[in-house]
Amino acid sequence: MSRGVFRSHNKVGETMSFQTNASSATTFDPSVTFGYGSDRVSWDMGDGSGYQADNTLSYTYSDTGTTKTVTLRTNRLLRLEGFNAQVDKLVGNLDMSGWVNLGDEFRIDSGNPELTGITNPVSSQIITKYNVYNCDLTGTLVMTGLTNLGTYLDLSLNSNLTGILHGLSNQAFSQRYYAHTCNLTGNLDLSMLTGLGTWFNVSQNPALTSITHTASTQIFTRYFVNNCDLTGNHDVSMFPNLGGEFLINGNSVLTGITNPTSTEIFTYYIAYDCDLGYINFLALSGASMSTIDLYDNNMSVDEVNNILVDFDNISSSLNPAGWTGTTLDISGTNAAPDDGTGGGGDGLAALSSLTGVTNNWTITTS
């Protein structure tokens, strides 16, 4: 049987095959779970040793790492739900298309440096963990058939992964959505995922130019899109519970950020080393703020002045409890504030008010 191909309705049940180069130095230990009923699978190890019958395998090959074709055999593939093959040295493409009830946990994370692709099935089962980080996924990963994906997704550290295609899912990503340190290119369309939240990290994708979001009421405690190539304005106004750590620094052609109306606690708002102008922080006046980094954005004097005036308004009048004591760095390539002569409001008066005893800000300017 060729790798990654499953045959159905043969005389001895249904099979799927995949390849591994696990050796005598490692334990080959994939496992499966059934969605319903009680059953057991068997595994042809591809080395002439015959079948191993167990849902949780533990096997040591006798070779030094030749490529073997492993065949899993079961009565009905549609009864299988979870699949785990961490650190099992999978090779090439893993064809899961016969797993029409793929759900629960799908874990191929780490220890599979030659896994280049996954053919996902069409499955409406709830998937609570899809973990394929630190492999060699290449090109675009098509996940359009997984319509109840949520809770935990990690595709990070796949340096040849250039795209992700999702299907509609209303499940909450209550633990993480990670696809950082890949090679995502162009736009990442997440408009079909209505439950993004908690930890979101697609940083370190130097060819990622934009992200399309849709509204989500989930609480964000981490939103990382730093060190990409985000271009123009980045809109996060659809996230009313954005907070925690917000990192968007290192996007050299990013010119704007549209903030949400949020009342969450921000520990960090990091937006340095971009090309940002005036940012409207008034939408965040109901939030709490600790540290803001806006340095090295080539801001003009009027832009710096107006931002400082807004901060003074928030800290002095709109929400003193949430904004006093904030640390701000708006220095570097930004212009120094002035009394409004250069345009905008009176930045020097706002600076004096913010750093005074009442507001107690720590501010670094040019």
pTM: 0.94
Per-residue tokens: 98: 């016969």
User: Residue 1: what pLDDT?
Assistant: 32
User: In the chain, where does DSSP find H-type helix?
Assistant: 301-313, 320-323, 347-354
User: Residue 3: what pLDDT?
Assistant: 38
User: Residue 12: what pLDDT?
Assistant: 56
Maximum alpha-carbon separation in the chain: 86
Blockwise average pLDDT, block size 10, the chain, 366 residues: 37 85 96 87 95 94 97 92 96 97 94 96 98 98 98 98 98 98 98 98 98 98 98 98 98 98 98 98 98 98 98 98 98 98 95 98 98
Query: Using alpha carbons only, what angle is made at residue 32 by residues 94 and 99, rounded to the nearest 5 degrees?
Result: 50
User: Residue 36: what pLDDT?
Assistant: 80
**CA–centroid distance for 282 within its chain:** 28
Q: Please, what sign has the CA dihedral across residues 155, 156, 158, 164?
A: positive
